[in-house]
Homo-oligomer: A and B are copies of this chain.
């Protein structure tokens, strides 16, 4: 395997070159058929696997994550690539919509109009710190953008630049083997913010994908919005993923729930966007017992290693900021000495009124930290939900009949989140068409899109209409004889028939 690689900051010249190459590549790549793009995506997955243990070793050396996680995440990444390939092979994703002509219509003849999704142009993807494979170089943003027909420039994450470089080489090998144009993918290294800003402001760039902090995502969103030609930024940012404990569930099942949540809070050292950082319950003996069991169980778990020194530094600092607020009680804090970069898991409690008054307590502490809020009653609990910022997920732990009894609480929660879970944990994001990974701001910059699942391709495409266009010159998706056999919306009906 490669060792001692030297990474240098991308220069303005390299940024310009990557953007111009991407813009040039767009002319041909945007016209590749679904089958051609699918071959490319499958080749990327093959090339990643072909690097075998060298890649896994590099990943582990840069992240401190165990082999099982590395291989699992590699599998997920390959699965994402091949699921987009399957979507392209099937082909109906372009939302082909056809209204045929009626030239005899009075008073005005009706023209033939046909619409389908077309790619936006070159996309910049910012690698995420917490998913070196699945949300970085060849991750979900890249896979969905390439599927859309958009060339990608990846701004590699500095903390796993070696992994990024290897995966980038795999993508470029795959591009060459499948005859994709030069510039369809570039990887740029940078440890600062300047390269990212130059990329986002470059006139050849037409959209941006980002996974990371609210501060970082919002900065890119603002920069992109202030361009002469504003471009869309989909940033998936922070979330404290509120969990609502309903009274009956707490009474019937409190201890088991506490044990489950000790696991969910510490999963992956708490480094998931969907980590449950806020637990809301109604004050009483059952909630006290839940807190007791959760606190006892969580310190039984061995602290684990965070991804890199910056992340654990932020974890400790953000946790201290929270702990310095009035009214917080520390219920569990792993106190024994821990190895370097290993995070101490922490559970704190606070009264509902205190939480409502102090929005510092609403901020994410990225890591194995969770806050249990003891509410006076369900009205206070509902009020807290109404005052939360937008979240990726909300979870309800309850008996079925409690969902109806507390319907206004559930309604409030639905209004604040992108995905709602009944009697489960928010961690573990299934990659499937029905998954919504995003949500009201600031969990994402645009709640109308998702970062996970096949529909994430919609971030990088725009509908385009052809009017009275000669049939033989239309894209295959819109031709009368439907050569791809896709499902289309023709004169108001879904059909895969010819016209």
Interface residues of A (CB under 8 A from B): 27, 92, 97-99, 108, 110-111, 113-115, 118, 120-121, 221-222, 225-226, 229-230, 232, 389-390, 400, 403-404, 411, 414-415, 418-424, 428, 430, 432-436, 440-442, 445-450, 455, 458-459, 461-470, 473, 487, 489, 492, 494
Given contacts A403-B473, A448-B463, 14 further A-B contacts (CB under 8 A): A92-B494, A108-B428, A115-B434, A229-B440, A404-B473, A418-B462, A418-B465, A419-B466, A422-B467, A422-B468, A434-B465, A436-B463, A448-B462, A455-B463
In Å, the complex CA distance between A420 and B469 comes to 8
Contacting residues, chain B, for A98 (C-beta < 8 A)? 434
In Å, the complex CA distance between A50 and B400 comes to 48
Please judge, given known A-B contacts A420-B465, A436-B465, A463-B455, whether A473 and B225 are in contact too, CB under 8 Å: no
Are the C-beta atoms of A469 and B422 separated by less than 8 Å?
A: yes
Most buried by B among A226, A390, A492: A492
Are the C-beta atoms of A433 and B225 separated by less than 8 Å?
A: no
Most buried by B among A422, A430, A448, A492: A448
| Partner pick for A419 among B445, B446, B467, CB 8 A cutoff | B467
Are the C-beta atoms of B441 and A462 separated by less than 8 Å?
A: no
Are the C-beta atoms of B113 and A418 separated by less than 8 Å?
A: no
Contacting residues, chain B, for A445 (C-beta < 8 A)? 230
Contacting residues, chain B, for A464 (C-beta < 8 A)? 414, 418-420, 436
Shortest CB distance A359–B (Å): 11
Shortest CB distance A253–B (Å): 15
Shortest CB distance A385–B (Å): 13
Please judge, given known A-B contacts A428-B108, A448-B462, A473-B403, whether A114 and B434 are in contact too, CB under 8 Å: yes
Shortest CB distance A129–B (Å): 23
| Partner pick for A448 among B232, B419, B420, CB 8 A cutoff | B232
Write the chain B residue with the least CB distance to A410: B473
> What would 5 A/B residue contacts be, using CB atoms closer than 8 Å?
A111-B430, A115-B435, A221-B230, A418-B462, A418-B465
Please judge, given known A-B contacts A232-B448, A447-B462, whether A468 and B113 are in contact too, CB under 8 Å: no
Write the chain B residue with the least CB distance to A458: B448
What 10 A-B pairs have minimum CB-CB distances, sorted nearest first? A436-B465, A419-B465, A113-B434, A421-B467, A447-B462, A225-B225, A115-B434, A99-B432, A99-B434, A97-B434
Are the C-beta atoms of B229 and A390 separated by less than 8 Å?
A: yes
| Partner pick for A225 among B92, B97, B221, B487, CB 8 A cutoff | B221
In Å, the complex CA distance between A473 and B419 comes to 15
In Å, the complex CA distance between A467 and B118 comes to 31
Contacting residues, chain B, for A424 (C-beta < 8 A)? 111, 467-468
